[in-house]
Structure 1
Amino acid sequence: MTLSSFLSVDTTNRSVSLDSSDPRFYDNPNAVYAALHEQAPTFYWEQQKQWFFSSYDLVNALLRDKRFGRQILHIASREELNMPPPSAHTRHFDAAESWSLLELEPPEHTRLRTLVNRAFVSRHVEKMTPEITDLANGLIDAFEGERKTELLASFADIIPVTMIARMIGIPDEMGPQLLKWSHDYVGMYMFNRTRADEDAADRSSKEFSDYVRSIIAQRRATPREDLLSHMIHTEHKGQLLTDDELVSTTIVLLNAGHEATVHQIGNSVRVILESGLDPSALFADAASTERTVEECLRICAPVHIFQRYCLEPCEIDGVSLKRGDKISLILAAANLDPRKFPDPLTFKPIRNEGANLSFGAGIHFCIGAPLARLELNLALPLLFKRLPGLKLASRPKVKDVYHFHGLERLDLVW
């Protein structure tokens, strides 16, 4: 199979024709990104009707550029931008997103992030090491004797959702329901989403919001030592968060706190096993483990695209943009820029070429990055240590979505 059979690049006009729902693409997007770095690292994606940027330096700079933001309606009206009115059938989703940390710009973003940031700093998160280790060991205990497992359901799904729920103050038994709501919710971020996807996201948004409101009421009456109680009862410059702000913030923390990490655990195990490298060497000590985890994040990032609105007219890499234009930054492709990472498609944990962009950069740098990194640095070495001889039982099946890159299932034997 050749890339030209499903990827068309016009280098003169820097335009690309590519169907994001084609399994030849989403099964191995890295090969496409390598071709785009060669031919058109900045390109207009015809099907998405939008400019995309994939070079490391540009993506890194644009993530920090104040001429671009996650929202636009704080400085311009829908009428000015010829933007259609909100859809009635996604009103519950829109309400849940209205105060999302991912969607706001300063000063609102600064106020909300300040209230939750303390819980996610490395020194606080590191205190969770024994709890994460115990949870991972307990999960492995349950399937170790069977000498086979489907790792996503038995391990990868459970650790991140359990830990973020505990931090916020939501019972462990809600884990499966949180996963269902989250899967439906993030369907709104996908290319080529259908009306059915939107209806599912809206329905789950209402259920998710109603549940969070019930927990908020409980914590108002009886505060506990958890993040939700902290958010409810802590003032910032004399202001408390409203219920709407609490609902949006809690939902985004729950979703972002586990969705990507689930994918990253599965992606990382696959990459390590397919590399043929010795896991005992990859996880020989803390420094080796950290390098291995960062290389996994670089080469198989779970979140591929982050979008921005242009807040003022400007020109980027020869592309003229006007206020209200939406652009996309391909984090996963930036991690494969050969000018930054030589031999980018090769898994090399000994790299020392700089930071990957899998958690973003700038004011929207992933607030949960310290927690995700800790979970990966603990869970991955433990898995390979406890299950010597671990190998793939069959070719892993990639989820048929883009721009979250993860596996449908990961069957292992040992």
Structure 2
Amino acid sequence: MRFDPWNPEFVAHPYDAYRELRDTAPVSFFEPTGQWLVARHADVNALLRDRRLGRSYLHAASHEEFGRQPEPEFQEPFWRVIRAGMLDVEPPVHTRLRRLVSKAFTPRMVESLRPRVRKIATGLAEGLAERGGGDLLSLVAEPLPVTVIAEMLGVPEADRHLLRPWSADICGMYELNPSAEVQHTAVRAAGEFSGYLRELARHRRDHPGDDMISALAQVADEGDRLTEDELIGTCVLLLNAGHEATVNVTGNGWWALFRNPAQLERLRADPGLLPRAVEELMRWDTPLQMFERWVLEDVEIGGVTVPRGKEVALLFGSANRDPEVFEDPDRLDVARHDNPHISFGAGIHFCLGAPLARVELIESFGALLRAAPSLELAEEPSWKPGYVIRGLRTLQVTV
């Protein structure tokens, strides 16, 4: 099968196509999206750290200079929110935002959340067991990160049902060539979410509490603070990046374990393997399959010159199965030692929320292993149509 991100069969299993790309065309132009596909781990890893590429080009050139059409006017509310966070900007703006946000989002703060994350995960897993099974995604995988991030941000419990739909709708804009309907839905969701957060942030600025919005509103560095737009953009990013990937690692991961029963039994017999298993599940069926970067200066990739103004598509799912880096890469090994996967990215855009994601995933898988030790697949799942952010529609299980 060839690289075809709109083909459901490819989305369900892209790894044979990736193997062919790595072997025969590791750097190749993909006409339907106008992108250069990069398939090998060494190239992807190097480009993530290469300052000749950027997540955005707008700090270095206009749309016209890059031969691009300006974004449609109706998208302006979406990009105003997204570019106020750190994901889609470059230094020096990115450097400043990451420095400020890191003062509130510290490893110590994340580790302090572990008992609460464990309690939430245990309650969700036990609830699934008491029901005798059901959709693992909607009953466990989705509520855990939403509850954690909502509690972190200080979103009142009565409003938390709004977060998952907003997140899913916003992330639709990151798929390849999204339809007009998906674009308008993403714009609406970004407007609604930012409006909600703006009201909440103003209240917390005047009446601070023990939550992330209050911390971000108060954080300062030599007199520098986040603007209101930056605070809101950061909160949107924390929800989207910290939620979508965690849900999909959980769903994709359990589906991987059901297809590899010997590895599941190994994990059941030795839950101490969980930290390594989580890293392996992120590698073996990567939730973020592609990460896009703009070429700011001509760059040579694997002997191919990609000129300024072009976009590269870094194939994380392919890089994580590269036999040059991973021994027997198509084999799932929950005890894999040497595992330099790039599911969290690399360089300045390395995922700020990686420590929290690891805590959530280890506690989630652990809670399900304890509460439902005989968890089984009830029916073969199907994949959502999205390729860039890749996950299952549902995962029906029995206990």
Same fold flag (TM > 0.5): yes
- Three-state SS of the structure 2 residue aligned to 1:238 is coil
Distance in 1 of aligned mates of 2:290 and 2:159:
29
User: Cα RMSD (Å) of the superposition?
Assistant: 1.6
The aligned amino acid for 1:357 is I
- Three-state SS of the structure 2 residue aligned to 1:307 is strand
1:388 aligned residue (353, 373, 384): 373
Higher relative contact order, chain-length normalized (CA < 8 Å, sep 6+): 2
The aligned amino acid for 2:200 is I
Distance in 2 of aligned mates of 1:405 and 1:333:
14
Distance in 1 of aligned mates of 2:217 and 2:67:
38
Q: Which residue of 2 aligns with 1:79?
A: 64
Cα deviation, 1:228-285, whole Å, max 9, x if unaligned, reads 1111122223222111111111111111111110111111111111101254532555
CA contact (8 A) 1:396 1:411 kept: yes
CA contact (8 A) 2:276 2:334 kept: yes
Q: Which residue of 2 aligns with 1:242?
A: 227
The aligned amino acid for 1:312 is E
Q: TM-score, normalised by structure 2?
A: 0.96
Q: Which residue of 1 aligns with 2:160?
A: 175
Q: Which residue of 2 aligns with 1:144?
A: 129
Work out whether 1:188 is the aligned partner of 2:169: no
- Three-state SS of the structure 1 residue aligned to 2:186 is helix
Work out whether 1:352 is the aligned partner of 2:337: yes
Aligned length: 399
Distance in 2 of aligned mates of 1:192 and 1:108:
27
Instruction: State the percentage of identical aligned residues.
Output: 39
The aligned amino acid for 2:205 is R
**Relative to structure 1, is the Cα distance of residues 36 and 103 closer, same or farther in structure 2, using a 3 angstrom cutoff?**
same
- Three-state SS of the structure 2 residue aligned to 1:408 is coil
The aligned amino acid for 2:47 is L
Q: Which residue of 1 aligns with 2:395?
A: 410
Work out whether 1:223 is the aligned partner of 2:208: yes
**Relative to structure 1, is the Cα distance of residues 287 and 413 closer, same or farther in structure 2, using a 3 angstrom cutoff?**
closer
**Relative to structure 1, is the Cα distance of residues 83 and 412 closer, same or farther in structure 2, using a 3 angstrom cutoff?**
same
Work out whether 1:252 is the aligned partner of 2:237: yes
CA contact (8 A) 1:119 1:125 kept: no
**Relative to structure 1, is the Cα distance of residues 186 and 69 closer, same or farther in structure 2, using a 3 angstrom cutoff?**
same
Q: Offset at 1:391?
A: 0.9
Q: Offset at 1:58?
A: 0.8
Distance in 1 of aligned mates of 2:243 and 2:158:
15
Cα deviation, 1:14-37, whole Å, max 9, x if unaligned, reads xxxx43111110011123222322
**Relative to structure 1, is the Cα distance of residues 273 and 305 closer, same or farther in structure 2, using a 3 angstrom cutoff?**
same
Choose 279-288 or 340-349, whichever is displaced more. Answer: 279-288
**Relative to structure 1, is the Cα distance of residues 141 and 349 closer, same or farther in structure 2, using a 3 angstrom cutoff?**
closer
Q: TM-score, normalised by structure 1?
A: 0.93
Distance in 2 of aligned mates of 1:38 and 1:346:
19
Q: Which residue of 2 aligns with 1:334?
A: 319
Q: Offset at 1:132?
A: 1.0
CA contact (8 A) 1:279 1:384 kept: no
Q: Offset at 1:352?
A: 2.3
